[in-house]
Structures are given as C-alpha cells and as structure tokens.
Amino acid sequence: MQKWEYLHAWVEHQAVTIVNGKELTKENAGGDIKAIRQDLHEFLSQAGEGGWELVSHKMPNVGTEVFIFRRPKPS
C-alpha cells in the first residue's frame, strides 16, 4: 500500500507564510521551500519540482489560501 507525506501551506496575499504549521523564518526555510514569504508562483513551481502533488485548495477568508500537497513517502 502506498504511503504519503504531506505539505500544508498557508498563503497570505500571494505570499507563502506558514508551512506545516511553522511560520517561515531564516532558521526553518529549506528543503523544498527556498525563501521566506515566498511568492506563490515560485512556491508552486518549486513544490512541483520537489514531486509534490496538489490535493486540496481552500480559501478560508479573503486574502488567505490553504494548499495541501502530497507525494509518495520514500521507502
């Protein structure tokens, strides 16, 4: 059975601000996420290059979007 890992991103006014529950700072930006308050287009491109597949998108309020991605978990 396929196992998955998930990436959960909050976007405020087209800038990625929180990933997997952690606010993006210089200390925790890394891996598939390259910048702090990254532009949404750049983030989506990098997520795709990292093998992430979008599985959900919601807009809980004006100016805020939530994206949930998944990719196969390494065996």
pTM for this model (two decimals)? 0.80
CA dist 65 and 72 (Å) reads 24
Maximum distance among all Cα pairs of the chain, rounded to whole angstroms: 39
pLDDT at 11: 92
- The residues spanned by each domain of the chain are 4-72
Q: Rounded to an integer, what distance in angstroms lies between the CA atom of residue 40 and that of residue 23? A: 15
| Cα end-to-end distance, the chain, whole Å | 11
Phi (first) and psi of residue 51, to 5 degrees: 90, 5
CATH architecture entry for 4-72: 2-Layer Sandwich (3.30)
pLDDT in tens, 18-72: 888 888 765 555 555 555 567 888 888 989 999 999 999 999 999 999 999 999 9
Q: Are strands 64-72 and 22-23 parallel, antiparallel or unpaired?
A: unpaired
